C-alpha cells in the first residue's frame, strides 16, 4: 500500500487557499479514479482506491498545517508503513506558479507542514512540490499562502491538477519520470505542426555553352546585280584596231 498525503488546512474558509493545493490535488485524483467516499479517521479524512494495480490511501490531515505529522504518523503505524511508502503533495513558494517537481527525501525548507512531518516520520518520504510562486518578501508569505488563488490562476491550476491525476498511477509505482511527463503534457503540451512546407524552387535552366547558330545570309533576289557573275575570267587578246572595228559593226 502507498499513502498519498495532501497538505492544507481544514474547513471551507481555507478550501481555495494556495496553502491547500495539496488537498485540491487529492480531490482530483479521488474524483478521476473512482476512490471510495471520504471518511474521518486518523485525525484526518481518508479514502481508498487503486492506481495502476497499486492500492493507495489518500489522506488530508485535519490537524491544521503545522500539526500534519501527527495524523500521518498515526495512519502509518496502523497500516505498518514506512516513510518511503509515503508521498506528500504540498505548495512550494520557490517554484513558479504551475511548476511541479517530484523528489524523494530532503529538507523541509521552512514549510510548517513538512517540518511537522519531519518530526513525526523522518525525512525519507517522497514529495511532490507544487509551485504557487513567491510574494517577493518573506514578511508577506503568511498572508500570501492563506489567500485564495485569483481568477487569473484558474487555467494553469486546473491543468496542473489534471496532470497530477493523469500521472497518479506512475507516482504510485515510483516512476517519477513518467509522472512528470504526464504533468508536462497537461501544463505545457507540445505544439502540433499543421502548416505545409513551402514548395521547393525549381532550378533555373542552365545556360548553354554553345554559341548561337548564325543564320545564313539570304540569297539575293532575282535580277539583283551579282558582280561575281558579271566578271569574265577570259582576258581580251584582240588588238586595239580589232576592238575598234568591232564597235562599228
Q: CB-based contacts of 65: which residues, under 8 Å, 6+ apart?
A: 7, 8, 9, 19, 112, 113, 116
Contact 62, 44 (CB under 8 A): yes
List the catalytic residue out of 16, 19, 111, 118.
Answer: 19
Query: Contact at 8 Å (CB) between 171 and 5?
Result: no
Q: Is 19 a catalytic residue?
A: yes
At 198, list the grid cell: 513551402
Task: Please count the other Cβ atoms lying within 10 Å of the Cβ belonging to residue 22.
Answer: 25
To 10 degrees, the CA torsion angle through 169, 172, 177, 178?
-10
Burial class (CB in 10 A: 0-12, 13-18, 19+), 41: middle
Q: How buried is residue 54: exposed, middle or buried, by Cβ count under 10 Å (0-12/13-18/19+)?
A: middle
Catalytic residues: 19
Amino acid at each position: 500500500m502507498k499513502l498519498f498525503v495532501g497538505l492544507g488546512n481544514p474547513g471551507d474558509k481555507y478550501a481555495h487557499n494556495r496553502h491547500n493545493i495539496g488537498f485540491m490535488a487529492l480531490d482530483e485524483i479521488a474524483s478521476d479514479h473512482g476512490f471510495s467516499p471520504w471518511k474521518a479517521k486518523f485525525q484526518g479524512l481518508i479514502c481508498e482506491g487503486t492506481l495502476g494495480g497499486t492500492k493507495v490511501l489518500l489522506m488530508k490531515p485535519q490537524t491544521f498545517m503545522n500539526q500534519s505529522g501527527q495524523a500521518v504518523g498515526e495512519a502509518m503505524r496502523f497500516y505498518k508503513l514506512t516513510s518511503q511508502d509515503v508521498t506528500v503533495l504540498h505548495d512550494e513558494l520557490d517554484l513558479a506558479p504551475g511548476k511541479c517537481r517530484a523528489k524523494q527525501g530532503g529538507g523541509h525548507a521552512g514549510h510548517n507542514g513538512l517540518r511537522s512531518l519531519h518530526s513525526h516520520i523522518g525525512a525519507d518520504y517522497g514529495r511532490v512540490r507544487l509551485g504557487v510562486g513567491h510574494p517577493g518578501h518573506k514578511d508577506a508569505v503568511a498572508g500570501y499562502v492563506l489567500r485564495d488563488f485569483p481568477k487569473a490562476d484558474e487555467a494553469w491550476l486546473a491543468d496542473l491538477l489534471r496532470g497530477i491525476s493523469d500521472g497518479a498511477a506512475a507516482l504510485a509505482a515510483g516512476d517519477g519520470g513518467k509522472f512528470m511527463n504526464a504533468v508536462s503534457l497537461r501544463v505545457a503540451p507540445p505544439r502540433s505542426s499543421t502548416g505545409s512546407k513551402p514548395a521547393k524552387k525549381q532550378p533555373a535552366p542552365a545556360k548553354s555553352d554553345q554559341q548561337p547558330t548564325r543564320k545564313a545570309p539570304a540569297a539575293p533576289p532575282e535580277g539583283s546585280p551579282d558582280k561575281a557573275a558579271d566578271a569574265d575570267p577570259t582576258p581580251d587578246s584582240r588588238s586595239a584596231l580589232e576592238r575598234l572595228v568591232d564597235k562599228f559593226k
